Amino acid sequence: MDFTFIVTDMLEQGLIWAILALGVFIAYRVEDIADLGAEGAFPLGAAVTVVCLNAGFHPVLAILLAVIAGSLAGLFTSLLHTLLKIPPLLAGIVTMVGLYSVILRILGKANLAISNSATTAFDFTQTLLGNRYWGIVVTMGVVVIALFFALYWFFGTEIGISVRATGKNKAMAKAQGIHTSVMIVLGLVISNALIALSGSFYAQQAGYADVGMGRGTIVVGLAAIFLGEAVFGKRTFKNTLISVILGGFIYFLIIDVALELDMNPNDLKLLQSVIIVLMISYPLIQKSLKEPLEKVKSWFKRGRKEAV
């Protein structure tokens, strides 16, 4: 087994997809909304970035435009839900389907590679460190750490707490004078902006954008969230954010180990489904195992007392 490949790929992919996991976390955990629009926002961010880079835009501007595009996707989904009263799940599906055509329009075809003359966000650190891999890891490490502190600060502000309160108990939040519709819009805008940002960096790392590259991204995000929470817990909001980020590393560790064990790549989607099922049912499994163990312990204690 190639442990070097496992560790390096886990770091590289884990950092990029940790941003996606944070975006999915805001929609799924903070807002309590299953937003399938994520599967459209991810390739949207990638498409905007590749087209801008090929047009000679500075990488920072290309990334910023990708984030704005993702924000607009989140805004559209949230308005469908808050103004037209369309259920959030259906609103996300409508956005995802509509974005497929939008992405094709942006790319002009199903997929588009980054030209050799284009400058990516990784070029500076790659030149500085003299290594492509570490250039990507260092750049993404700085971005993820910055996002962690930014999100931790924001969700500690009055507006951020209002967003969290809306997701926890919408009726109670409304009774406290919080404009819950605005908070839902804000939460989904931030969520999709992060997902598009992840797609932007993924396109720059992979070297292309594809209209179908967002397929299954919501599953990866949820797997990272559940794995992180199961392993590292969710005692505080800060701890939860860290768990979500580290969950991305654990997810790709499992995937890379499976590939190194000669698992058929066609079975990876099935593995993703199994991981999510296990993580969702983890509390129930833990409880079902705990009760028999407690009975065994009490039986041994009673046996000792009787022996004495």
How high is the pLDDT of residue 71? Answer: 97
- Residue 117 backbone phi and psi in degrees, to 5: -85, -10
How high is the pLDDT of residue 234? Answer: 80
CA-CA-CA-CA torsion for 98, 104, 105, 106, nearest 10 degrees?
110
Domain locations along the chain: 3-212
d(CA 17, CA 247): 10
| Closest to 18 in 3D by CA, of 114, 120, 137 | 137
| Closest to 220 in 3D by CA, of 185, 193, 254 | 254
- Tell me how many helices (H) and strands (E) the chain has: 13, 2
pLDDT by position in tens, the chain (length 308): 556 767 788 888 899 999 999 999 999 999 989 889 989 999 999 999 999 999 999 999 999 999 999 999 999 999 999 999 999 999 999 999 999 999 999 999 999 999 988 999 999 899 888 888 889 999 999 999 999 999 999 999 999 999 999 999 988 998 888 999 999 999 999 999 999 999 999 999 999 999 989 888 888 888 888 888 888 878 889 999 999 999 888 888 888 788 777 787 777 778 777 877 877 776 677 677 666 666 666 666 665 555 55
d(CA 235, CA 157): 19
d(CA 170, CA 211): 35
Token pair 């969230």 is at which residue?
Answer: 225
d(CA 259, CA 237): 33
- The sign of the torsion formed by the CA atoms of 24, 233, 243, 11 equals negative
* Tokens read off for 187: 């939460």
d(CA 214, CA 144): 20
pTM for the model stands at 0.89
Q: Which helix (H) or strand (E) holds 181?
A: helix 180-206
In this structure, are strands 208-210 and 111-113 parallel, antiparallel, or unpaired?
A: antiparallel
* Tokens read off for 254: 């499992």
Ramachandran assignment for 108, one of left (phi > 0), alpha (psi -120 to 50 degrees), beta (any other): left
* Tokens read off for 10: 């886990």
Token pair 């498409």 is at which residue?
Answer: 47
d(CA 19, CA 16): 6
